[in-house]
Amino acid sequence: MLNRTKISIVVIIILLIICNIFLVYKYRVSQRALEAITSQQEINTQVLSFTQLFMAKVLQGAQEVSFDDRLQLENAVRVLNDQAIFTAWQTFTRAKDSAEVQRDFYALFDLLLQKIQF
């Protein structure tokens, strides 16, 4: 009888160790997933912040964009640290006529929307 009790205790301890290993594994997997979600949320926040600034300074502005506003937009696009958005921004700012401005605006705006992920 004493031998059975010892075996039962050993089996229970082994099961508890296995459960702990499994729970630690699940915790680590969940932690990585949460870090990925947090990282994407930060990217979304930065892209939305730039988009709002872009809308306020460029689209809703009644006059030509001032040097300070353009500098603010340039710094905001650099903070994103996204080469595709930066390239689209440079293409937009180098447009020569209204047709190019419109085309490049839609390309930039579409790219900004694509970068936002849920």
- Give pLDDT tens digits for 26-74: 999 999 999 999 999 999 999 999 999 988 888 887 778 888 888 999 9
The whole-angstrom separation of Cα 108 and Cα 85 is: 7
pLDDT at position 32 is 97
Number of domains in the chain: 1
Mean pLDDT for the chain overall: 90
Q: Indicate the pLDDT class of residue 1, thresholds 50, 70 and 90.
A: low
Query: What's the whole-number mean pLDDT along residues 79-99?
Result: 90
The structure's pTM equals: 0.74
Show the domain range for 89: 2-115
Between the alpha carbon of residue 103 and those of residues 36, 90, 91, 95, 116, the distances in Å are: 33, 13, 10, 9, 21
Is the CB of residue 80 less than 8 Å from the CB of residue 50? yes
Q: Where are the beta strands (DSSP E) in the chain?
A: none
Q: Does the pLDDT at position 2 exceed 80?
A: no
